[in-house]
Amino acid sequence: MTEVYSMDPLIIKTPYEMSYKHSYGKTSKFFTSLSAGKLMATRCDHCKFTFLPPRADCPYCLAETKWVEISGKGIVHTFSTLYFSGEKFLKDLPFQLVYVELEGVDTLFLTRLKIKDKNSTKIGMKIKMKISREPEWRSSDVWAEPED
């Protein structure tokens, strides 16, 4: 049912729902491994470079990469506090997104930081990646928390 908020300008509120079907293709193992409690990255043996988010093929030499399990320990590279988001996370506002430097990984990984005191987030702070026990097969199945 459409609700009318204003006539000039005309502002309405109407239900909106959509289903979205897509394939993770060659990076599917990242999500299936999360469901098994493992955090996986991809590595190019030729370039000695490890990617997370995973890359099926090395962007430098184009060789196919291999999957490697990583510890999920790392540090905050940089962070931002969000005061607006997509619909799924509106209930969680404000929250923080961080780029993390993970052990054994050569790229930065963008993820959410779940922390009680948002004012205590610092660049260089030690974090540990956490994995949801109830997978939704999305990037939000993994996040960072301060290391104890």
How near is the Cβ of 64 to Zn ion at its closest, in Å?
9
* CA-closest candidate to residue 72, choices 106, 32, 101: 101
How near is the Cβ of 42 to Zn ion at its closest, in Å?
10
Sheet holding 40-44, edge to edge: 49-51, 40-44, 66-69
Q: Closer to Zn ion by CB, 46 or 122: give it.
A: 46
**Spatial separation of the C-alpha atoms in residues 110 and 116, rounded to whole Å:** 19
Residues that bind Zn ion (CB under 5 A): 44, 46-47, 58, 60-61, 63
**Spatial separation of the C-alpha atoms in residues 127 and 101, rounded to whole Å:** 9
Per-residue tokens: 137: 């097969």
* The Cα angle at residue 70 between residues 62 and 26, in degrees rounded to 5: 40
How near is the Cβ of 62 to Zn ion at its closest, in Å?
7
How near is the Cβ of 45 to Zn ion at its closest, in Å?
8
Q: Closer to Zn ion by CB, 46 or 66: give it.
A: 46
The amino acid present at 123, given as its one-letter code, is: I
- Phi then psi for residue 84, to 5 deg, are -150, 150
Q: Closer to Zn ion by CB, 46 or 138: give it.
A: 46
Q: Closer to Zn ion by CB, 64 or 69: give it.
A: 64
